[in-house]
Structure 1
Amino acid sequence: MDLKYILTFLLVCFLLQIKAQTVDKTVLFTIDDAPVYTSEFLRVYNKNLDLVQDESQKDVDAYLSLFINYKLKLKEARTLGLDTNSTYLNELESYRKQLVKSFLTDSKVTDALVKEAYERISHEVNANHILVRVSENASPKDTLEAYNKAIKLRERALKEGFEVVRKDVHNGQTVFGEVLGYFNGFKMVYEFEDVAYNTEVGAISMPFRTRFGYHFIKVFDVRKSRGEVTVAHIMINKVQADTTAGTAKSRINEIYKKIQQGEDFESLAKQFSEDKNSAVKGGIMPAFTGGQLSAPEFEDAAFSLKAKGDVSAPVQSKFGWHIIKLYDKKAMPAFENMVSELETKIKRDDRSKVIDNALVSKLKEEYQIQDVGPDLEYFVSILNDDYYSRTWKLPTDFDGTKPLIAIKEKQVTYNDFAEFLLESQGHIKAKLDFERLVAQEYNAFLEKRLKQYKEGNLEKENAEFAHTLNEYREGLLLFDLMESAIWNVYKTDSIAIKAFYESHKKNYLLPERVDAVIASSANKRVVKKIGKLLEGHMLPEQIKNLVNADDEVNVVFTSGIFEKGHQALPSRYTFEKGISKAYKHNNAFVLVQAKEVFPEGLKTFDEAKGHVISDYQTAKENDWIERLKEKYKIIINQDALKRVKAQIKKQ
């Protein structure tokens, strides 16, 4: 899904509803006599309660105003004919196809597979296998030969030992004997995984089929997955621009020394960590599982910590240098927290075939399609070897009007299946006898036709789908309107935007800043000593060499331009040139040498441009909404509104 789709979804996500409700035909308001019903407003309002951050939007009158504005914009979009634009219609169809996927599925089977997948990613299996290769579309004779060979090899493995036979028979062409090591769910094709997780430790499975051939496996061990950890870290960026502080490696080693000397990890993280998101929390990160961070060195170090409170030595990742502290270790995240992720993986995995088969069976039952299909002998008789060279054509006397099968009121004809065969001849991978080929292609044809019929009738058969699609329809329309009327104004309104900046300059201020060197130490006496050394014009690097003696780190310097409120500055610090007094800050003592103080001031237009454009768009939209209210007549049914408020009050 591209950025426009995501933005559109976010724009209207507060309007999406999970379950369709019975439509109340009580009119809440009209826009040029077009009615909007109380049922729609209540549904949207109740859904929005869990999503809004602004408490004012929970006020019924305030929310009604927002909702009327939304409907006004849709009215304007349709007046402008945006709903007939070919780009809009194509995007809507693309949305519809995405939406259909979530409805054309068997939820019970999906739920069962999700639970199974969770259990499997919670454990790792250590197994080896022997594979007898055979083509996926091999003849029955070749398939049977491969199966019998696998049976004989398994019998040998039971007598001589699995590993002995595995090493002996491996030739890398027709037979493979491979060491697999530990793996868990989604790492192997589903048929293979299924057998691995259903074979007892120490046992050798019966031969089973995958698209590669016939395998049998020996399971050596099953263990729990590494699970989930919560850690805090202190990070120094890979590229260290602060020359006073030294290299990233030397800086992280200085901080690590301070931890070894007993200084508080969280306080040091607040002072020095360059991961701004976690620094303010003492370095604490959200819990993560293996592979989630795309930083294996970091993950390995985190998972290797044993007890809560353990701290790692400095470790390097592609992001920089880290010191890691273990806060919590869990076997696996809760099942409920992984359902969505697992559903996505299942739909991309071989498991999707299980879901498809269940869906087809369900549709056959719903549309009363018999398991015994139509007589296909005629199609077998008209095929020839031209089919495999992609040159096959229908006989000149072919009668395509004959009925083949009926799906509800839709009659499927001989011609429909014949066209499918003509198209499929370009995709056949292996040569089959014509009876097998026709049976295979008919099953694929029927599955496609059943899904097409279901998809084409979803809006009639499924109220939830109809409602959700309508919300997408309106969302896309609103996106196109806002893009053309408001969001792209910066391309054409440059003069007006600059004029807006000139009349609102006071809104765009630079905060007070200081160009400074900050010294931090756990010892107040050390900080006071550093103040005197700085007064004597000694450089920070010289002071570090003097104070950090005997392999102890007693001071860490940080330099740069700091805004008021920066994590390294004490809240009570007064911005003025010179050397400050010693402040207690984050369980340490700091001293600030201010080289230059930059007072609060106005941002230039270029500095404030993004903010100015955003504010200008907001102002322009507000003016536009007022013009729409003059253009279209709005009438609110006050009696209906009173009933809505009473109903909401009871909830």
Structure 2
Amino acid sequence: DASAKENNGNLGYFTALQMVYPFEDAAYKTPPGQLSQPVRTRFGYHLIKVNNVRNAQGEIKVAHIMVRATPGMPKADSVAAKRKIDEIYARVQRKEKWEKLVVQFSEDASSSQNGGELPWFGTGRMIPSFEEAAFKLNQPDDIASPVQTPYGWHIIKLIERRGLPPYEGMETSLRNRIAKDSRSELNKAAFLKRIKTENNFREVAAAKEYILSKADSGLVRGTWKNSFGAKETAQPLFNIKDKHYPIKAFFQFAEQNQRARPNSSPAHVMNLLYDAYTEQSLLNYEKENLENKYVDYKMLVHEYRDGILLFQLMDEKVWSKALEDTVGLKAFYENNRENYKWDTRAEATILSAANPQILASAQKQMAAGLFEVRKNKPAPIAFDAGKDVITGRAKMALEELIAKLNADTSLTLRITGPLDAKEAAQKNNLAQKRAVQIQNYLTGRGIAANRIHVITNQTTNSQRTALLNLYSSDLRVLEQNLNEANALNLQASHRLFTKGENKVLDGIAWQPGTQTLEKDGRTYYIQIHQVLPPAYKKLSENRGQITSDYQAYLEKEWLNELRQRFPVKVNQAEVEKLVKK
């Protein structure tokens, strides 16, 4: 077990149905402080030492604040996420209102509007690190320090604890889990034993001795051949009711299903193949006769067949038709436009700042319209003395820059040409030529010229390196710049909002203009660019919902057609007999 190097073999606590059954069974039968006998599972052999036994912990309900940080994300983003969760935790410790912090900062969309609450869960239901931190909380409102999972960072708050649900509430779940667990092999063995009896399974002892006598070393190597005559292998090996299973059928099965078993004897391998063949034959016989044996199953199969036919008809008449009939979909939309309308919407920019000073800095940068990208800045481009030729190494750096510009179309580039002191004294526009060379290389590789700006002022540096600065109109870059010192300094967004999407925006009059206000300890700047009145949604904007409604319409029309073609007459007198008076 490779993990033993890190955990010294300590598996922690586990409960039923969390380990393979042989391992679990041995662990539960071994007293605390004792060592089990060797236990074999499909993974190998195990010696189990039981350190402690405790009662089930029941279930807990918690709330959390999450900041996303997934494995493989850039290191800078991972560090920023850790800083952000630490800042939030500091505010939690200062007793700031939990619900307010969840709404403002949690990145779990499914719980952020519900105080961060998660459904009840017990042992084995959550990521181990999350579960361990949650179950260590003792009293309601206790809060754990930030804990990391593959989804990100979490601050966990205990809401309530309760014991295990009653058996009636867990029965269905337990049955489903047991059916998928290795202990289901016990059920399978019992089932095979029962159908052997029910179907009058009869083994022919002499025939079994015969097949065992034909076992040789080829079985161990997985190369055994059925080279025996048809006459001597025509005798039945066993019978299931009135059906005979000849030796030759088993030999064909053995030849097709053998595999190398270097540590086994030929007789043992032949017995394993015989057991597999009898099991397969019993199960196949049972399947072939299920409808004759079980009337309820026969009715279920017929119902299932009818269901498939109905599904195919529904697909033909409703589902696929709605997707493929674009003319009909458009006509349905035009006839039902009143059902697809936007409420009043506002195109707005919202800045949420930790204090007025940060907000003022953000507004100043917004006025310029572009924000310098400070993270992962492009490497400067070096030139040889007195030359404006782009070197091979410089081209490699420019190719990386081109990839960035192609990946993010909001980026623009500013190029400042370089000179050393000697070159500057010559006054030959070499700096301009170097900057233009870089510009031409980029435009030649498909970067639009209007995204590149050349600074004509000559700059002097001893390395003769052209300075490349990226700028973006994306508000996320503004966030990154102002959150370098504190991950919660600024949150910025620009998009169309409807009523109910943003509580701060809902609290002001919706009319074009700007407004600054204080709410819940933060300073907000809101610019409403335009207010869009209620309007019809375009088909392209709401195709999913319109298609679903069109399918419902087609189904209704189809049913009406069927009622006309196949009138249904109800014998009301018989129906009345079924009603309990």
- TM-score by length of structure 1 reads 0.57
Aligned mate of 1:259, from 92, 101, 109: 92
Tell me the equivalent position of 1:221: 52
Alpha-carbon separation, structure 2, partners of 1:305 and 1:320: 20
Q: For 1:638, which of 560, 564, 572 is the aligned residue?
A: 572
Alpha-carbon distance in structure 2 between the residues aligned to 1:580 and 1:474: 63
> In structure 2, what is the equivalent of residue 56 of structure 1?
none
Q: Does structure 1 residue 198 correspond to structure 2 residue 133? A: no
Q: Return the offset for 1:427.
A: 2.9
1:284 offset after TM fit, Å? 0.9
Report the CA distance between 1:558 and its aligned residue: 5.7
Task: Kindly report which structure 2 residues correspond to 1:620-635, keeping only aligned pairs within 5 A, or say none.
Answer: 620-635=554-569
Q: CA separation of 1:211/1:516 partners in 2, compared to 1, >3 Å: closer, same or farther?
A: closer
Partner SS, residue 50 of structure 2: strand
Alpha-carbon distance in structure 2 between the residues aligned to 1:422 and 1:272: 64
Match for 2:303 among 441, 458, 471?
Answer: 471
2:548 to 614, 617, 622: 614
**1:497 matched to which residue of 2?**
329
Amino acid at match of 1:427: R
Cα drift, residue 435 of structure 1? 4.4
SS at match of 1:233: strand
Partner of 1:568: 503
Q: 2:316 matched to 1:381?
A: no
Distance 2:44 2:81 in 1: 53
Which of 142, 145, 170 in structure 2 is aligned with 1:310? 142
Report what 1:486 is aligned to: 318
Pick closer, same or farther for the CA change 1:197–1:318 going to 2, 3 Å: closer
Question: What's the CA shift string for 1:451-492, capped at 9, x where partnerless?
Answer: 222222222222443333333322222222222222122554
1-structure distance, mates of 2:42, 2:110: 47
Mapped partners of 1:389, 1:283: distance in 2: 58
Relative to structure 1, is the Cα distance of residues 632 and 574 closer, same or farther in structure 2, using a 3 angstrom cutoff?
same
Q: How does 1:157-306 map to 2 (within 5 A)?
A: 179=9, 181-182=11-12, 184=14, 185=16, 189-206=20-37, 217-224=48-55, 228-237=59-68, 252=85, 255-289=88-122, 292-294=125-127, 297-306=129-138
Measured after TM superposition, the shift of residue 321 of structure 1 is 4.5
Q: List aligned pairs for 1:526-545, cutoff 5 A.
A: none
Mapped partners of 2:43, 2:347: distance in 1? 66
Match of 1:453 among 267, 274, 285: 285
C-alpha spacing 1:386/1:314, structure 2 compared with 1 (3 Å): closer
Cα 1:234–1:200 shift into 2, 3 Å:
closer
Tell me, in whole angstroms, the C-alpha distance in 1 between the residues paired with 2:558 and 2:277: 53
- The residue type paired with residue 612 of structure 1 is I
Residue-by-residue CA offset, 1:204-263 (whole Å, 9 max, x unaligned): 4445666788765543333456664321123345599xxxxxx76666556545434433
Query: Against the structure 1 CA distance between its residues 538 and 417, is the aligned structure 2 distance closer, same or farther, given a 3 Å change threshold?
Result: closer
Q: Which residue in the other structure is 2:479 paired with?
A: none
Give the whole-Å Cα distance in 1 for the aligned partners of 2:189 and 2:572. Answer: 53
Residues 1:367 and 1:599: Cα distance change in structure 2 (over 3 Å): same
Displacement of 1:180 in angstroms is 5.0
SS in 2 for 1:445: helix
* C-alpha contact 2:144 2:156 (8 A) present in aligned 1: yes
Residues 383, 392 of structure 1: 8 Å contact kept: no
Specify whether residues 238 and 596 from structure 1 end up closer, same or farther in structure 2 by C-alpha distance, changes over 3 A only. Answer: farther
Residue 182 of structure 1: SS of its match in structure 2?
Answer: coil
Q: How far has the Cα of 1:309 moved from its partner?
A: 0.3
Q: Is the 8 A contact 1:271 1:568 kept in 2?
A: no
Q: What's the offset of the Cα at 1:565?
A: 1.5
Aligned to 1:598: 532
The SS at the match of 1:276 is coil
Q: Is the counterpart of residue 462 in structure 1 residue 294 in structure 2?
A: yes
Q: How far has the Cα of 1:265 moved from its partner?
A: 0.9
Computing the radius of gyration over CA atoms, which structure comes out larger, 1 or 2? 2
The reply to whether residue 577 of structure 1 matches residue 577 of structure 2 is: no
RMSD: 4.5
For residues 367-378 of structure 1, the aligned pairs below 5 Å read 367-369=199-201, 375-378=207-210
Distance 1:608 1:517, change over 3 A: closer
- Tell me whether 219-228 or 613-622 shows the greater mean CA deviation: 219-228
Identify unmatched segments of 5+ residues in structure 2: 74-79, 368-481
Structure 2 counterpart of 1:182, one-letter code: G
- Cα distance, 1:601–1:282 mapped onto 2, change above 3 Å: same
Letter matched to residue 531 of structure 2: V
Tell me if structure 2 keeps the 8 A contact 1:513–1:598: yes
If each structure's helix is expressed as a fraction of its own residues, which one has the higher value? 1
With over 3 angstroms needed to count, the CA separation of the structure-2 counterparts of 1:590 and 1:413, relative to structure 1, is same
- Indicate the SS of the match to 2:53: strand
- The answer as to 2:258 corresponding to 1:324 is no
Instruction: Pick closer, same or farther for the CA change 1:510–1:255 going to 2, 3 Å.
Output: farther
The answer to whether residue 230 in structure 2 is matched with residue 417 in structure 1 is no
Given residue 21 of structure 2, which amino acid in structure 1 is its aligned partner?
Answer: Y
* C-alpha contact 1:540 1:557 (8 A) present in aligned 2: no
Distance of 1:280 and 1:495 partners within structure 2: 40
Aligned to 2:341: 509
Residue by residue, what CA displacement relative to the aligned partner does 1:61-118 show, whole Å, maximum 9, x if unpaired?
xxxxxxxxxxxxxxxxxxxxxxxxxxxxxxxxxxxxxxxxxxxxxxxxxxxxxxxxxx
2:501 partner amino acid? H
Give 2:31's aligned amino acid: E
AA aligned opposite 2:571? N
Distance verdict in 2 for CA 1:290–1:199, change over 3 Å: closer
The TM-score with structure 2 as length reference comes to 0.64
Aligned residue for 2:332, secondary structure, equals helix
> What residue is the counterpart of 2:445 in the other structure?
none
> Equivalents in 2 of 1:606, 1:286: separation in Å?
36
CA–CA separation in structure 2 for the residues paired with 1:517 and 1:560: 4
Matched, 1:351 2:183: yes
Q: Which residue of 1 aligns with 2:275?
A: 443
Moved more, 443-452 or 309-318: 309-318
Distance 1:439 1:554 in 2: 69
List alignment gaps of at least 5 residues for structure 1.
1-127, 129-177, 241-246, 542-547
Contact 1:271 1:567 in 2 (8 A): no
Question: For 1:334-359, what per-residue CA distance to the aligned partner results, in whole angstroms no more than 9, with x for missing partners?
Answer: 65555555545544544233222211
Contact 1:308/1:327 (8 A) holds in 2: yes
Q: Give the whole-Å Cα distance in 1 for the aligned partners of 2:198 and 2:112.
A: 57
C-alpha change, 1:560 and 1:568, in structure 2 (3 Å) is: farther
- Output the CA distance in 1 between the equivalents of 2:46 and 2:510: 74
Which whole-Å CA distance do the structure 2 matches of 1:540 and 1:306 have between them? Answer: 47
Distance in 2, Cα, partners of 1:314 & 1:283: 15
